Amino acid sequence: MAAALELVLREEVAPGALVHWLKHDPGRRSAEENHIHEKLVSLSLPQKDFVPFFLNFLREQTGQILTNGPSTPAKTPNSKALGNSAGRGSQRRGSERRAGNTTGSSSSRMQLFTQKGSANSCSPDTSFAPSAVSGGSPAFTGSNLSSPSSDFPSVVSSVSPSFGCSPVFNHSERRSAQKANLGNFFVAMPEVQPTRRGRRKGNSSTSTSSRQVARDLGRCLADEEDGKSDNTSWSGGRKKRNEVLGVSASSPPDQLNLNNLEEFPPMCASSGFTNKSKPSRRINPTPVSIERPLSKPKMCFTSTPVSQSPAARFPSGASHEAFVTIQEGNVASTAGSSLQEEREMLKKERCKLLHQASSPAGLSLEPSTPTKLSYTRSASLPPEGHLMTCAYLSKVSCKKQLDQLALLYSSCIAENLVPNIFLELFFVLQLLTSRGISAEDGESDLEFNQGCKGAVERQHFHNVHNCVYFAVQVLDRQYELISHLEKGTLKLLAENERIASFSPHLHKRLRQAYESSTAKVSLLLPSSVQSVSFQPETDNRSNFPSDRAFHIFKKQRDIFYELLREWEDNHEKPAWDFERVLGNKIRAMMAHLTATCNHSHFARLFQKQIIQMCKGPVGGGTSWGDTPDQDVLNMLGCDDLSRLKRLQERFVAPQSIRGPCPPPSFPGCQQFFRDFILSAGSYQFNQHLMDNLCLKILELDGLTLVEHEPSDGEADMEEQDEKKHFTVVLMSLRLLAKFLGFLVFLPYRTVEPPTRDLHESAVALRNQSLPVLDVLKLLQRAIQGRRTILTIPWIVEFLSLVDHIAPFLDYYGTVFSLLLQVYRWAVLLTWYVCCGIGIPRPPGFGLHVGCLPVDLGVSEIQGSMVPSEDKEMSFLNKLLILAVLGWLFQFLFQIPSVPEELFFTSEVRQDGLMMDTMSSAQALDSATLVDQQLLYTCCPYLGELRKLLASFVAGSGAKNGGFIRKITPTAAESLAPKPSVTQQKLQAELEQAFFHNQPPSLRRTVEFVAERVGSNCVKHIKATLVAELVKRAEVMLQEKVKEDNTNHDKLLDEVCTQLYEEGAQAFLKGREFCRKKGPEAVRVLLPEETSAAVLSSAEDIAVRLATEKACTWLSTNITALIKREVRTTFSRMLKIQGPSLPSEDTQEMKKDCPPGCQHHAPFPSEIINEIKDVLCIAVGPRDGDEAIHYAHLECLLEKLSQTLQCRKFMCPTSEQQLAKCTIELASLLVSDRIPIQGLELQTQKYPERQRSKNHPICNLLTSLLSVWKEDFVMLVPVQLIFSKKNVGYVAEAKQREWDLFLFMLHGLVEYNLMGNAEIESYLQSLQEFAWPSDFLKELETLSRVFESELHIEELRTNPCELVRQSLGAVTAQS
């Protein structure tokens, strides 16, 4: 590989040709046919190894200079083995991180692709253990290196298979000898001994040494004949690097001449010399000895187990020492070889540690930054004061080589040959902003690289100037890409003084890009209502098999939300533990669900709730507190919401991102759902949930956007709607897919990677089962249908949760390789052209790119077509796909034992993804759907680029954490609350809330109507107003042309300006149109039964949205539209010559009550209560003189009447009770049981009635009778008067005055409440009870009276007359 690079550096082969070589498929056409450069052909190297080699080469070369910002994760050298098994989550301990950080300060960023070596080997207990296997190898390899006939063949071979390990990838088997370990990427040349790889593995396993690899390689190539001991050569290589470090650590030049090749011979040259010179030191600087095995691998790309104790690795003492030195390599110059110097080194080291400790605001505080930002930076930073190194174009050395490298690198990026283009971009920006201390200016490049035989081993990046130069070169070539980044990043790039000074041209372009960019990104989405609303269609009783099931589900729903609320309240408290607090509750709930088979209902609720709560990009971290506090709003005096939002996200959003390649996680609310699933541990539930998720995913994946005629005007507007819709669907899909992936791979999750045996059997077993969701088919379909922009992002989310084994299954292997094809292919179409890289293109290059058959065993894909330029994916669409795929690849490589071949395999054939010709609505890829907002929402880690740049601007980044956020304080006078903002916000919320409990179709309808009406409105205005204006313009123009036929443009402008004012009418007309059409459409589309209020609100919202849409479009486009129309007309001529207004709300009036009732009557409850009080007193016990005033009773009856008349507040039970109570009251009155005050007064008032002192009571009774008769609606059970109890009162009446009773009975007849016969029969039956004899007699008499009255009644005489007569008779008798 080095040879290939060498050719480029020597300019014998153009980078373009190399890239072409990389891409050509040896299997399909011969090299000649493909126009491969013959020099490359003659090297006969496997192409696949070049890119990893090259990337490592760059990391290696730039290692010591890169001190700024977090290391690109890919460059952490070691052990993916540790990584993914244990690294997830909590295992990442501070100490580990710290240790790793310090070690890694330089080393960790060095190596992009280390071998994975023993990743598969089996010791589960410590992640380092595997290196025991490989650990030996460095030593042997060393020897092997020089002596091709290995001394330890067995070891080596035992290592190699473990590396290749995947039976699925049979090529690995085939080449196992070669690819054996670490180096499969680097080691490409046949003449290089495979054994060397073993050594390299050793290198990589010592984190510090790994970056040396590429250089070592180069040296080895050169020095191979020397046959020197590899131990030495190895340490020699080490030393070489240390030289550089020594310089950067500002050791005085006179002390040591690091560039002295005698003292510090390049890698293989030094032989025993170094060996001997090694001091016998055992002091391990703290950072090195504490490895950080678990956390680091997470971030790393490939894996090599590290940090085994040196002794275990090095069989010989000498090499052991070498190793120790190497471990310290980043700080200590081994070359000094004096104890004194080592002490110096230690001092420095300690100093650095102190320095780190003293900057608490450092980046290390950022949550889970596996990239160990602060340490990386501060460890290699010189003490404050020299933080910035100025970069000068004039000081750049070996420009030519840098140009070549930049070109090659750019091409690799442009051709998607790198696994993650954004990672590379991050790396480039690191170079751009590097603060590393360069070698002394005086040192010439020549001197520095003296003795290097090959161009490859030369130090091209030994100073900041070179790094910056290279970075700017690359950036220049990636302009197209970076110009699509969000505005803030562009601003920082445009303001970057290094770019300005190194490439004014690029600077200018960036400025322009910044100025024209509209790509503002905000990472907070508006919040929504939180619970899933109850929808009768799916949730009411008829959806359940039994009442019990329905009832239980009712409870489950409530329990579920209770759990959710508890989580919400407490999960951030330190001692709170999900499983401990909620685990049993959840399982109890699951048991209930199982008992009633309600899982499917609950799964649906669960899934809906996930979407409801987690759609937001930050995973609803702030969840229901999302909306800013009212007080805060007022306090800030924000005049618009967006400003507040921006401010808020400055506080909240950026901090939550973790490095440029964070592992998949469940942030915010998603955590609840994940933990819920885990705690529930219910097979049934999981299955139902998976079904549910699959269903929803399939549904959403089938999204079709409203087909729009790409006609001139409103394309803009409709695009907006589509984008919005698309965004929502995409975000939901990603979310659901992540959970599906989680569930699908959950059973296979293991903490430790499986041993090889287990691995193989697991693969064999699992190859037999079908996937839960056929992502492969969906992916193929998406590619065919050109809908990858929707499908790939969620498939990536799904796959990001694979377990250790899954990538090795045939099925997922196929999926990955298909994704890889897409990744490669996504570029081929335009990128190359866009980037405008001046790579000489061999004939045919770039032409064969279009269509390649997907050869995956599923070859039903038919119909091929080379995507024509205009139909291909939009740039940002592609960017999104590349970003997510890059992230996935990057992440996958962190899984131990996932072979990088997955990515770098040359078997990715670039000939044939085929697609159908689809209607434009189906083929989402060609629509411009993705904007920066969506891109950054899906890939928040892209924001790291901005952070990096920002920290550079901030200058003393190490001290303050680097990311200064400037917040402009708001003026004091604006502190007064501005209701308009809150009102505005409230209105927006109200509108959202309105839809919440309505069926989803309502919202869809309203949105649909709004969209259509808005669009139609524009059309209408074009057809009427604009057409009219154009006609008038035509007339005007015709006249003017006659006058002055010279300056048409000016003429046109004049006329148009006149028309613009009239164009303003468009808003009025638009508004009118929407107001008219919107409600009509809504009314037609909504169910007939929709209530008036809902209908009118829906109409209003539709009208408002439509008006907004139309007016927004009109306001930005109307003048342009007029102008364009007029111009067309004019040229043709020359050839021949807006918020809504509310609609009426229908009012619903209540019936009942007498006309004109004011509903001021006392409440029934009051009356009942008052009667109750009277009854209490009557029934007793009562306090001595307690009595009721007559007037009170009178008044009570009056109120009773009123109350009964007003029906408003009456309910049947009240009325019933009133009836009963009043009868009771009547009975008590009749029997004189109520102590009444003021009776005498009453009798005096009416002297004419003096005959009977009972008259006042008769009045009351009459009132009662009247109320019973007139005011009650229900039938009053007056017969209760004859109940034994009530008659008993009468019987016990003290004064034996029963005339009131008689009066009462007659009244009943009089008021037609009872008939004489009825009364008579009641009286008869009463006689059967045992009464006092006198009362019994009375009853008999009464009975007779009514009997006779019955007769008289039959004679049809006036009843009133008779009553009076009989009353007289009765009184006479008694």
Q: Is residue 1153 part of the contact set for another protein (CB under 8 A)?
A: no
Residues 57-86 that bind another protein (CB under 8 A): none
Look at the block and give the residue holding tokens 């819920």.
Answer: 676
Are the beta carbons of 1203 and 1163 closer than 8 angstroms?
Answer: yes
Q: Which is nearer to another protein, 645 or 1104 (CB)?
A: 1104
The least CB distance from residue 992 to another protein, in Å, is 8
State the number of CA atoms in the 13 A half-sphere of 389 facing the CB.
29
Piece in contact with another protein (CB under 8 A), picked from 517-525, 826-834, 893-901, 1142-1150 = 1142-1150
Residues 1205-1224 that bind another protein (CB under 8 A): 1208-1209, 1211, 1213-1214, 1217, 1220-1221
Q: Which is nearer to another protein, 267 or 1174 (CB)?
A: 1174
Structure tokens at 206: 């010592």
Fill in the per-residue mask, 1090 to 1129: x = in contact with another protein (CB under 8 A), - = not in contact. Answer: -xxxx-xx--xx-xx-------------------------
Residues 538-577 that bind another protein (CB under 8 A): 539-542, 550-551, 553-554, 557-558, 560-562, 565
- Cα separation of 1090 and 1102, whole Å? 15
**Ordered DSSP codes for 1237-1286:** ETHHHHHHH-GGGTT-TTHHHHHHHHHHHHIIIII-SSPP-GGGGGSHHH
Piece in contact with another protein (CB under 8 A), picked from 270-278, 407-415, 907-915, 1178-1186 = 1178-1186
Residue type at 323 in one-letter notation: F
Q: Is residue 1176 part of the contact set for another protein (CB under 8 A)?
A: yes
The least CB distance from residue 678 to another protein, in Å, is 23
The least CB distance from residue 1098 to another protein, in Å, is 9
- Cα separation of 1321 and 1308, whole Å? 14
- Map residue 1001 onto helix, strand or coil: helix
Q: Where does residue 165 fall: left (phi above 0), alpha (psi -120 to 50 degrees), or beta otherwise?
A: left
- Cα separation of 66 and 373, whole Å? 12
Buried b (16+ CB within 10 A) or exposed e, 762-777: bbeebeeeeebbebbe
- Cα separation of 248 and 251, whole Å? 8
Q: Is residue 1172 part of the contact set for another protein (CB under 8 A)?
A: yes
For 970, which DSSP code? P
The least CB distance from residue 874 to another protein, in Å, is 37
The least CB distance from residue 622 to another protein, in Å, is 12
For residue 158, what is the enclosing H or E element? helix 153-164
Q: Is residue 1164 part of the contact set for another protein (CB under 8 A)?
A: yes
First to last CA, the chain: 136
Q: Is residue 1159 part of the contact set for another protein (CB under 8 A)?
A: yes
Count the site residues for another protein by CB under 8 A.
81
- Cα separation of 823 and 884, whole Å? 10
The least CB distance from residue 1282 to another protein, in Å, is 9
- Cα separation of 634 and 698, whole Å? 45
CB neighbours of 165 closer than 8 A, spacing ≥ 6?
Answer: 119, 120, 172, 756, 759, 897, 899
Q: Which is nearer to another protein, 1179 or 1273 (CB)?
A: 1179
SS3 track for 47-83: HHHHHHHHHHHHHHHHCCCCCCCCCCHHHCCCCHHHH
Q: Is residue 814 part of the contact set for another protein (CB under 8 A)?
A: no
- Cα separation of 755 and 85, whole Å? 12
Piece in contact with another protein (CB under 8 A), picked from 47-55, 320-328, 524-532, 1229-1237 = 524-532
The least CB distance from residue 594 to another protein, in Å, is 20
CB neighbours of 1169 closer than 8 A, spacing ≥ 6?
Answer: none
The least CB distance from residue 1270 to another protein, in Å, is 21
Are the beta carbons of 464 and 440 closer than 8 angstroms?
Answer: no
The least CB distance from residue 528 to another protein, in Å, is 10
- Map residue 512 onto helix, strand or coil: helix
Q: Which is nearer to another protein, 982 or 1374 (CB)?
A: 982
Structure tokens at 1013: 């009406």
Piece in contact with another protein (CB under 8 A), picked from 710-718, 719-727, 1086-1094, 1360-1368 = 1086-1094
Fill in the per-residue mask, 981 to 1000: x = in contact with another protein (CB under 8 A), - = not in contact. Answer: -xx--xx-xxx-xx-xx---
Are the beta carbons of 279 and 101 closer than 8 angstroms?
Answer: no
The least CB distance from residue 787 to another protein, in Å, is 35
Phi, psi of 682 (to 5 degrees): -110, 120
Are the beta carbons of 160 and 181 closer than 8 angstroms?
Answer: yes
The least CB distance from residue 133 to another protein, in Å, is 56
Q: Is residue 1076 part of the contact set for another protein (CB under 8 A)?
A: no
Residue type at 893 in one-letter notation: F
**Contact pick of 702, 1142, 1332, 1368 for another protein (by CB under 8 A):** 1142
Fill in the per-residue mask, 624 to 663: x = in contact with another protein (CB under 8 A), - = not in contact. Answer: xx----x---------------------------------
Q: Which is nearer to another protein, 497 or 562 (CB)?
A: 562
Q: Is residue 1148 part of the contact set for another protein (CB under 8 A)?
A: yes
Q: Is residue 1072 part of the contact set for another protein (CB under 8 A)?
A: no
Fill in the per-residue mask, 1285 to 1314: x = in contact with another protein (CB under 8 A), - = not in contact. Answer: xx-x--------------------------
Are the beta carbons of 920 and 927 closer than 8 angstroms?
Answer: yes
Look at the block and give the residue holding tokens 């009964």.
Answer: 1204
Residues 936-955 that bind another protein (CB under 8 A): none
**Alpha carbon distances (Å) from 573 to 567, 587, 618, 652:** 10, 23, 20, 19
**Contact pick of 27, 252, 969, 1181 for another protein (by CB under 8 A):** 1181
CA geometry: angle 582, 588, 589, nearest 5 deg: 90
- Map residue 788 onto helix, strand or coil: helix
Q: Is residue 1374 part of the contact set for another protein (CB under 8 A)?
A: no
Q: Is residue 1157 part of the contact set for another protein (CB under 8 A)?
A: no
- Map residue 1158 onto helix, strand or coil: coil
Q: Which is nearer to another protein, 609 or 906 (CB)?
A: 609
- Cα separation of 1369 and 1374, whole Å? 9
**Contact pick of 640, 810, 1173, 1270 for another protein (by CB under 8 A):** 1173
Q: Which is nearer to another protein, 1135 or 1285 (CB)?
A: 1285
**Contact pick of 390, 1120, 1141, 1191 for another protein (by CB under 8 A):** 1141
Residues 255-294 that bind another protein (CB under 8 A): none
Fill in the per-residue mask, 345 to 384: x = in contact with another protein (CB under 8 A), - = not in contact. Answer: ----------------------------------------
What sign has the CA pseudo-torsion 967, 973, 977, 983?
Answer: negative
**Contact pick of 90, 769, 968, 1147 for another protein (by CB under 8 A):** 1147
- Cα separation of 326 and 328, whole Å? 5
**Contact pick of 289, 309, 531, 1115 for another protein (by CB under 8 A):** 531
**Contact pick of 594, 905, 1283, 1324 for another protein (by CB under 8 A):** 1283
Q: Is the peptide bond before 667 cis (omega within 30 degrees of 0)?
A: no
The least CB distance from residue 1050 to another protein, in Å, is 46
Q: Which is nearer to another protein, 312 or 559 (CB)?
A: 559
Q: Which is nearer to another protein, 588 or 1176 (CB)?
A: 1176
Q: Which is nearer to another protein, 191 or 1089 (CB)?
A: 1089
Residues 872-901 that bind another protein (CB under 8 A): none
